[in-house]
Structure 1
């Protein structure tokens, strides 16, 4: 059995030696932070003579648990204790009741968790994994690390120190060869890929740069059917109803493509203007359209799994379809950029990467939301070899949108409610969201790469119990899908709290809700925050319906919340706890909290929120 302290992820008293100086880093990235942390672990370890493979849990075969001597897990907790969807299969396998207590006795492990301490179940996934690995006999090599979004420095407040501890703890498990010296911090690591120039008429694997590749096996192409603004033309925010139809699907299969509560992922492209600017900053314009064969320089760092090896492509294709130049750069971007800079520029970049420079880095990037493209323009004197393109830039991540339709009600088409992200900071150019701005630019008939994510939390309740929904803004989208299904099934006890700024400007699906209310299938409470002198929000409406809420819940009803994760969920919870006390005759706030927790355990209370 493991000698770790159960569930604490603390290092064992007598570390087990390894058979080789190798280990695996597994990540389950949601926002991109986990993959960045995982890659930084890999770079540091390679500098110290380790052979390291970094991969997503989606590429990991569960049988590999018994093949590796050391695995480092980098796992975020989403919301209040939720497991990242891609980690669920491995987590489910680890929970199998038939596994013996010595199942993983030959495994050493480390866990670095990512979370938000404003939630009660802070870093819950990392804590649960540590406890489960301990119970299966695995050995922690270092105390579990935790990164907190609430800290102004974010992951940088704890990760560098934890990484030092990890490397110090594993070094004795398989010491380096005699005379080995770690590579200096200013030594440029080898590039992840090699570029081989090929003739313009050559081909490899039948691929050309003109055809974008789908990023995962279960992704597919959809045709854009409708892309219409639903907010008033004079309103500050552009919100669209987007309708998509999957290509190559038989009519008989369309109503089974997805379910109410599912999420649709869309992987966007960078605009030609942004790509041209990046090429100019790197001085790659002249080679941007030359065909290359790209291949990995090491088996430990393969190409992204959806790309063939070798892959015939161009730098323009990679910047348009694969690599993210529109996000706010992470610290690792500045580490790479410093390698290819000189003089004062290099000194400034290295200062950004130091603990003393974190406040300056936040002021430069995070607060104004300065993008990779903009940073590179300001540091355009850097001389970056194109072979380092996959090291410098992260992959474009798909963006998920709650589906606002049920397949049976829309002949298998997919409806989305999309707020086009555009806002001002101290920078002169407005900030924009990559996916939403790309969607806004498309005309009907355009092809869109999509994938159904069936891990959504807001599922149709079994049977026809009462349902209470709180959905301000675009958070109301999945409730339209759920209601279409509930109406088909004859469920009539539905209470919706919808929040907007103005009834005349941004009241989404108004005609649909009004029709349901007229038929007696819905009780609707609207909180238009700006239509009167005193602002009104969804949480302010909840006490007015206290008796109905308590009646619904007392008869096995469900309570769903969807929307922004900033202040709304906490304010809604506070209002609901007040209802529990008043209508349920509860003695104090603690009893109300216990009732809230019980509903959550029973699956009758679900929050699906985003930052």
Structure 2
């Protein structure tokens, strides 16, 4: 069965022209008769697929679904919420919205301005006539804030009069299957076709989607579904004697993979649970470690192997459960062990066929029970040099260096937040970017916790790093943090912003990123002479111009 052709993105047409042509071709080819060609074509149904994205998942999904919708005959387009106002929804009429949740139930960065506009007292437009549905992306580990951004948007759109055509779907980390069901339902409702017409039209499209997905997978080579077995080639402690931390420089070889990446991207790493932790869990439940159990993606394996390689166990460790719990029920309630994403700490232009990470090994005790970060201790302690583990690259289109090499860059990255900025500075050096570079770095003690000290100081001495401000919180009685240094340099920081500097933040989302954001607003007010409202508008404009980006976790 022939699939419906789609006008490629690089064809010499506007977005609107491509959408119309896609709809026209889909209509003609799916009617299956020459008579249909001579008949007036029904106007393609407009469809906006909007996204609120922090790490790129919602964005990539929205763009993929927009291509699929165009193949189904819609005049579809994908757009970030930072490019939209609530009034735009009225013009579009049909809106599918995909959003992640950031931090403690907050909107992702590119959705903040849109959300604020939806909640302006007295000025939020009525959305009568707008048809919508929401797909919320999240992580159940966040408890009450799971998918909260999507839930809030769903409630608010309905309050403003929009009609929900398909119930909101809340997705955990593995979202592909649920996203597919949600989009198929939404496309079917919006198409307005009869059941017979839907069967004749939707089925071929789904077959085409599967073929296209297989083709994309083959073209892409290694991916999350088919990770590259990368060899660990470096595991170097970055802290020295006297530190309370264990931070590692980790490097993998990409030799033989044909893989590449851009600075700002993340590396997905497939990890395993600690065997000691797994043995403790099995013993606590008095299970047989060799009992055969089902695996999350099909097949089966002995319980011990399944818990080490395939299931999450960290939430179970140390918890008291009834011994009466059956093995089948126990396994049924386990979550699939997910790969972990880490900010890349290198430029491939400097380190050919390599990718580097900067990782803090997590170890702590609560109520007398020792805990280990699954991924961090796997990389620090349990993966030997020259051994392999699966990796893949995760594009972070929201976290990119300016294309204009003359633009100034301000980077705020305490602790392991230094990772992408080491990559940025290596990239700026390799591309001979003439723009100024300013780094704010902080940790506990200068003597033991100044990560990548020699490389950073060399950049300063050679003038590549125009300005370096450090904040070592425990080197003096008063705690000093990166936001403290920002406020102390308010006048110059404001001058850089006015020169068009791009402002980046990487690191802890719960406290640091919020404190840095507060400091940025304060600087714009004091050094820039703005009111609080004007400062907020200035920051929102920076976000729209892609000049304020955060990689936070």
Asked if TM exceeds 0.5, the reply is yes
- Residue among 457, 461, 470 paired with 1:526: 470
Give 2:485's aligned residue.
Answer: 541
Over 3 Å counting, the alpha-carbon distance change for 1:121 and 1:439 in structure 2 is closer
Give the TM-score, by structure 2 length: 0.64
Structure 1: stretches of 5+ with no match in the other structure:
1-62, 64-74, 163-168, 171-213, 296-302, 329-371
- Residue among 275, 279, 282 paired with 2:278: 275
Give 2:332's aligned residue.
Answer: 391
Give 1:466's aligned residue.
Answer: 408
**Distance in 2, Cα, partners of 1:156 & 1:599:** 26
- Residue among 238, 242, 254 paired with 1:230: 238
**Distance in 1, Cα, partners of 2:480 & 2:287:** 53
1:313 aligned counterpart, secondary structure: strand
**Distance in 2, Cα, partners of 1:403 & 1:472:** 15
**Distance in 2, Cα, partners of 1:267 & 1:536:** 36
Over 3 Å counting, the alpha-carbon distance change for 1:244 and 1:135 in structure 2 is farther
**Distance in 1, Cα, partners of 2:332 & 2:255:** 34
Matched-pair contact (CA < 8 Å) for 1:117–1:148: no
Deviation, structure 1 residue 470:
0.6
Over 3 Å counting, the alpha-carbon distance change for 1:552 and 1:224 in structure 2 is same
Matched-pair contact (CA < 8 Å) for 1:230–1:239: yes
Deviation per CA, 1:559-583, whole angstroms, max 9, x where unpaired?
Answer: 1111101222232223223332344
Deviation per CA, 1:284-328, whole angstroms, max 9, x where unpaired?
Answer: 32643x6x7x59xxxxxxx53xx5xxx3533333222111111x2
Matched-pair contact (CA < 8 Å) for 1:502–1:529: yes
**Distance in 1, Cα, partners of 2:149 & 2:231:** 45
Matched-pair contact (CA < 8 Å) for 2:490–2:527: yes
Matched-pair contact (CA < 8 Å) for 2:52–2:58: yes
**Distance in 2, Cα, partners of 1:538 & 1:233:** 23
**Distance in 1, Cα, partners of 2:552 & 2:148:** 25
Give 1:513's aligned residue.
Answer: 456
**Distance in 2, Cα, partners of 1:281 & 1:510:** 45
**Distance in 2, Cα, partners of 1:233 & 1:391:** 45
**Distance in 2, Cα, partners of 1:273 & 1:316:** 11
**Distance in 1, Cα, partners of 2:97 & 2:263:** 38
2:369 aligned counterpart, secondary structure: coil
Give 1:431's aligned residue.
Answer: 371
**Distance in 1, Cα, partners of 2:511 & 2:101:** 20
Matched-pair contact (CA < 8 Å) for 1:116–1:149: no
Deviation, structure 1 residue 385:
3.8
Give 2:362's aligned residue.
Answer: 421
Over 3 Å counting, the alpha-carbon distance change for 1:580 and 1:154 in structure 2 is closer
Over 3 Å counting, the alpha-carbon distance change for 1:548 and 1:233 in structure 2 is same
- Residue among 227, 234, 245 paired with 2:253: 245
Deviation per CA, 1:152-177, whole angstroms, max 9, x where unpaired?
Answer: 954599999x9xxxxxx99xxxxxxx
Matched-pair contact (CA < 8 Å) for 1:114–1:123: no
**Distance in 1, Cα, partners of 2:347 & 2:95:** 46
Give the TM-score, by structure 1 length: 0.58
**Distance in 2, Cα, partners of 1:121 & 1:156:** 11
How big is the alpha-carbon RMSD for the aligned residues of Structure 1 and Structure 2? 4.6
Matched-pair contact (CA < 8 Å) for 2:248–2:361: yes
Equivalent residue runs for 1:46-445 within 5 Å = 84=58, 87-90=61-64, 92-93=66-67, 98-99=75-76, 119=106, 124=111, 138=131, 153-154=144-145, 216-246=224-254, 248-249=256-257, 253=258, 257-285=260-288, 287-288=290-291, 304=297, 307=298, 311=299, 313-326=301-314, 328=315, 372-375=316-319, 378-386=320-328, 388=329, 390-425=331-366, 427-441=367-381, 442-445=383-386
Moved more, 435-444 or 542-551: 542-551
**Distance in 1, Cα, partners of 2:142 & 2:359:** 30
Over 3 Å counting, the alpha-carbon distance change for 1:77 and 1:438 in structure 2 is farther
- Residue among 388, 398, 408 paired with 1:457: 398
Equivalent residue pairs, number = 415
Deviation, structure 1 residue 78:
6.3
**Distance in 2, Cα, partners of 1:609 & 1:159:** 19
Structure 2: stretches of 5+ with no match in the other structure:
1-25, 27-49, 78-88, 119-126, 155-163, 166-221
